Structure 1
Amino acid sequence: MELAVPRMYKALRKAGLVVNRKRVVRLMRRHGMAGRFRRRKCRTTFPGPDGYHIPDLLGRAFAPGRPDVAWCQDITYIPTREGWLYLASVLDVGSRRLLGYSMADHMRTQLVLDALAMAIAARGGDKAVAGVIAHADRGSQYTSNDYVDFCQDRKMRPSVGRTGVCWDNAVAESFWESLKRECLQGRVFATRAEARRAIFRWINWYNTTRLHSTLNHVAPLEWEQQYQQAS
């Protein structure tokens, strides 16, 4: 907003309106007015250490089958007037349920570990997730020693797609598209806390109510309940 104030102030004065700069700032803030700008691009995927090889165990097998065969993970970012808010997600490939997520003002490895820990807790703890494929892109967070050790301690199987190939993590990419279209598009958040609240509400709606076309128009939690009853 600060960059737009001088131009707005001069335009009002030129139009013959007697107004001081402080009032312009106050009114623009009250009405959520800001100058248009090109958003900076924010990279969230950085290659991991050279020579550190993790295979792709998923191979784009994204069709729903049963829960807890594989989870997809990724990081996205949300602009706010306070700065970037980074969001890490963990989705069950079978049910498309968002099992875990984490939001912070950084995208260090701890961000993705917090999201993964939440997903593990949602499934009942470490023993319940042994053998699950933990799939992600080849970002440094998902190829770090801390991340690999975290997975191996819980007998999960780390998996990554190819660098720069978004289709290798298509479930996560589709989730981000839905979040940004249905929750974030056209909104400007004043603070990270405001963005967190909006995202939390949307996630709850997504898991419990939103009809998912891949699941034959059933919400993820309902799909899991149907699966358990059929089993």
Structure 2
Amino acid sequence: MHSDQGSQYTATRFRDLLARNGAVQSMSRRCNCYDNAHTESFWSRFKAELLDGGSFPGLTEARLEISYHIAYYKAERRHSALGYRAPNYFESQLKTTSQLCPA
């Protein structure tokens, strides 16, 4: 579970709750709001595209829809920051290019 260093996330009760549920906590560095920018962007789009203000009927449906959405997000959804290419395509193109260019 990644968060900023807000008091609600550093509170003992919250950290105990995470530990009881087997979650690992990470935090942004002090005074660095960009540590989590890519994740914040993903969750923002996730909520807007998948949930659209709604909710899931149950945990099984949530898991299924979330896994489908992440697969779509990585393999098909075009990202403006990647030159309107899907992340999987961008990464494979980057690997191919880097193999052709000796260090």
- Shared fold (TM-score greater than 0.5)? yes
- Tell me the equivalent position of 1:178: 45
Q: Is the 8 A contact 1:162 1:168 kept in 2?
A: no
Q: Is the 8 A contact 2:47 2:53 kept in 1?
A: no
Distance in 2, Cα, partners of 1:181 & 1:107: 26
Instruction: Tell me the matched-pair count.
Output: 87
- Tell me the equivalent position of 2:9: 46
Superposition map of 1:115-194 within 5 A: 141-142=25-26, 160-162=28-30, 166-194=33-61
Change over 3 Å in CA distance of 1:218–1:193 after alignment to 2: same
RMSD across aligned positions (CA): 2.8
**Shift of residue 167, structure 1, vs aligned partner:** 4.0
2:64 pairs, out of 197, 219, 228, with 197
Query: What amino acid is aligned across from residue 201 of structure 1 in structure 2?
Result: Y
- Tell me the equivalent position of 1:218: 85
Distance in 1, Cα, partners of 2:93 & 2:11: 39
Q: Which has the higher contact order (CA 8 A, sep 6+)?
A: 1
Consecutive unaligned residues in structure 1, runs of 5 or more: 1-44, 50-105, 113-140, 144-159
**Shift of residue 162, structure 1, vs aligned partner:** 2.6
Q: Per-residue CA shift, 1:29-60, capped at 9, x if unaligned?
A: xxxxxxxxxxxxxxxx61278xxxxxxxxxxx
Change over 3 Å in CA distance of 1:230–1:170 after alignment to 2: same
**Shift of residue 142, structure 1, vs aligned partner:** 2.0
Q: Rg larger in 1 or in 2? A: 1
More helix by share: 2
TM-score, normalised with respect to structure 1: 0.33
Consecutive unaligned residues in structure 2, runs of 5 or more: 1-7, 99-103
Q: Is the 8 A contact 2:77 2:85 kept in 1?
A: yes
